[in-house]
Structure 1
Amino acid sequence: MSAWILLRGLAREARHWARLPDRLRSRGLMGEIVCADLPGTGEHVRERAPASIAATTDFVRARLAALGHAPPYRVVALSLGAMVAVDWAQRFPLELERLVLINTSLRRYNDPFERLRPSAWPLLLRAAWCWDARARRRAESAIHTLTCRRADERDADLAAWTAIYQSAPPSRANAFRQVLAAARFEGAASAPCCPTLVLASRNDALVDRACSAKLAAVWGATLIEHPWAGHDLPHDDGAWLADTIAAWAGNALTVALPSTSA
């Protein structure tokens, strides 16, 4: 049975998925669920992050093989991780069976100010300025404000995210290389060969939802928008996300309503 591979975004790691793997299992998804860290994050925090998406893809593929996982895979990926997934699907089409892309963009199709909203720059700069351990909670606060719309557990989120950073701190230099890789990534002109679900959050303050809409239109892929979530859709409405992936994977005709409101 094909494994589900989960890929996170910029300077985030497996633990930032929080309850999503358990939610996916509870929806009856068949196959192992593997949260794979990108180089420079999580269990690979001491690795140098490549300045290209292709090299990042190659790293992930090699690590999965070393751990005994074999394709074909089903990939769920967010933001930068979704760029890795696109590159993977385009360069190694026989290795992926299904693709779920969340709040991502490609240089080939999306304008720079759509890929990174100008209004996001102040909070991004604050996070970069407060990157180290002494000011880390302030960095996580900026990230939370920028990427999340559900704030009912903000204090708990900040405590958890700060603890994750302290146990495996991604370097500022690695984060910069990831940004560079994302900015340069165009992707191939061809659409992924496997069934592709594109998910977008209407209240994404980091990446314009138009990016996802353009990708889905060009590729003829399924597009579903969440009405109130922010960039970190797994955080804001993980229950809806798990329901939606499970429905799509099972070829169901209905999609769950959002579980909570902003």
Structure 2
Amino acid sequence: MVPIVLVRGLLRESGHWQDTVNAIQQASPEITVITPNVPGNGELYYQTSPSSIEKMLAPVIEQLPRGCERYHLVAISMGSMLASHWAHTLPGQVASLTLINPSFSRYSPFWQRINLKALLSIGASSLKGSDAFQQSIIEWTSPISLHNSEVIEHHLNLARNHPVTARNATRQLYAAARFKGQSTPPAIPTQIIVSERDQLVDCRCGEAIAKAWKVEIKRFDCDAHDLPLAKPHALCDHLLHWFANVELSTDYT
């Protein structure tokens, strides 16, 4: 199987893919999994985040290992905006595109794209310090994970080691809010995945993209926007099965 590239969203980094990466490697150890970061996040926390989704692409591609010329692209939330632009820009390099809980302003109003109550709650928590901020993010993006002390500690450590500045957070939020999205699907196999009870982004946003693009949609009975955190093994099983079908039906020669 060709490599898998996982792209995270707003304020998130490669380390937040930990459970998904582990699930993939347990199921198929031979698969290469790559987790680049948007500038301003993760190991690139000291860099300035681009103020547009389009300008995030080049620095993310630079992080791919040499020789990685074709890959399955999986992205969540703001990462889905970047991945969509990526697949439309370089379709010859993207074997397939999976967007998890995406939202594009072209297809959805702002009150569906973000739960304003959640946004205010998360914003208020930032005044109480980094730990409270991270726990509030988890509360709204993966409620079940609030009861997992290992997950909480992992996320707190990521925030301590790779702090996202307020300036970069604002730039990323600005970039995501401005992103309109493409009117047509990329010329590659594409699927949309939604959590039916997403507490942060209304699942109708992803459904609207799937309907407009006329592509597959997979629904998970889940309340987590961060589906990879809440259901890593179920997500992994679905992805690997879908990738295998894509490769069987596609000529890679």
Give the structure 2 partner of residue 8 of structure 1. 8
Q: Hey, what does 2:151 align to over in structure 1?
A: 157
For residue 240 of structure 1, the aligned residue among 234, 243, 253 is: 234
Aligned residue for 2:243? 249
Q: Given the alignment, which residue of 96, 99, 102 partners 2:97?
A: 99
* Equivalent position of 1:49 in the other structure: 49
**What amino acid does structure 2 have at the position aligned with 1:125?**
G
Unaligned runs of 5+ in 2: 247-253
One-letter identity of the residue aligned with 2:62: A
Going from structure 1 to structure 2, the CA distance change for 1:29 and 1:62 (only over 3 Å counts) comes to same
What residue identity is the alignment partner of 2:21? P
For 2:124 and 2:186, how far apart are their aligned partners in 1? Answer: 36
- Residues 149, 228 of structure 1: 8 Å contact kept: no
> Structure 1's 127 and 72: CA in aligned 2 closer, same or farther, altered over 3 A?
farther
Equivalences, count = 246
Q: What residue in structure 2 maps to residue 194 of structure 1?
A: 188
What residue number does 1:217 align with?
A: 211
State the shift of 1:30 in Å: 5.9
- 2:177 counterpart (164, 178, 183): 183
Percentage of identical aligned residues: 28
Distance 1:198 1:16 in 2: 20
Instruction: Check whether the contact 1:72–1:95 (CA below 8 A) recurs between aligned residues.
Output: yes
> Residue 26 of structure 1: CA displacement?
2.8
TM-score relative to the length of structure 1: 0.88
1:256 corresponds to which residue? Answer: none
Measure the CA separation in 1 of the matches of 2:119 and 2:19. Answer: 29
- Residues of 1 paired with 2:223 and 2:235: CA distance? 11
Q: Any conservation in 2 of the 1:29–1:246 contact (CA below 8 Å)?
A: no
Tell me which amino acid in the other structure corresponds to 1:167: N
Tell me how far apart the structure 2 counterparts of residues 63 and 18 of structure 1 sit (CA, whole Å). 18
SS state at 2:217 partner: strand
Q: Is the 8 A contact 1:108 1:187 kept in 2?
A: yes
Give the equivalent residue in structure 2 for 1:40.
40
Q: What TM-score, normalized by structure 2, do the two folds share?
A: 0.91
Aligned counterparts of 2:29 and 2:104: Cα–Cα separation in 1 = 29
**Is 1:79 matched with 2:77?**
yes
| Aligned residues of 1:146 and 1:206 also touching (Cα < 8 A) | yes
How much is the aligned-residue C-alpha RMSD, in angstroms? 1.8
Counterpart of 1:121?
Answer: 119
Farther off after superposition, 45-54 or 150-159: 150-159
Q: CA deviation at 1:60?
A: 0.8
Structure 2 distance, partners of 1:168, 1:236, is 22
Deviation at 1:199, TM superposition (A): 0.6
Whether the aligned pair in 2 keeps the contact of 1:148 and 1:235 (CA below 8 Å) is yes
Which residue in 1 is equivalent to 2:251?
none
Deviation at 1:105, TM superposition (A): 0.8
CA distance in 1: counterparts of 2:245 and 2:93, whole angstroms: 21
2:249 equivalent in structure 1 = none
Structure 1: how far apart are the matches of 2:177 and 2:131?
Answer: 27
Cα distance in 2 for partners of 1:217, 1:164 equals 36
Q: 1:37 to 1:51 in 2, by over 3 A?
A: same
Moved more, 79-88 or 242-251: 242-251
String of CA shifts for 1:54-91, please: whole Å, max 9, x gaps: 00012111232xx4143222111111111110010112
Find the residue that maps to 1:251 and give its secondary structure: helix
- In 2, Cα distance between equivalents of 1:138 and 1:152: 12
Segments of structure 1 that go 5 or more residues without pairing to the other structure are 253-262
Q: Which digits, 9 at most, give the CA deviation of each residue in 1:122-181, with x for residues without a partner?
A: 223124434xxxx21111121111101314634332222111111111111111111100
In the alignment, residue 5 of structure 1 is paired with which amino acid?
V
Partner SS state of residue 223, structure 1: strand
Deviates more, 1:149-158 or 1:91-100: 149-158
| Distance in 1 separating the partners of 2:130 and 2:19 | 23
Query: 1:52-67, aligned counterparts within 5 Å?
Result: 52-64=52-64, 67=65
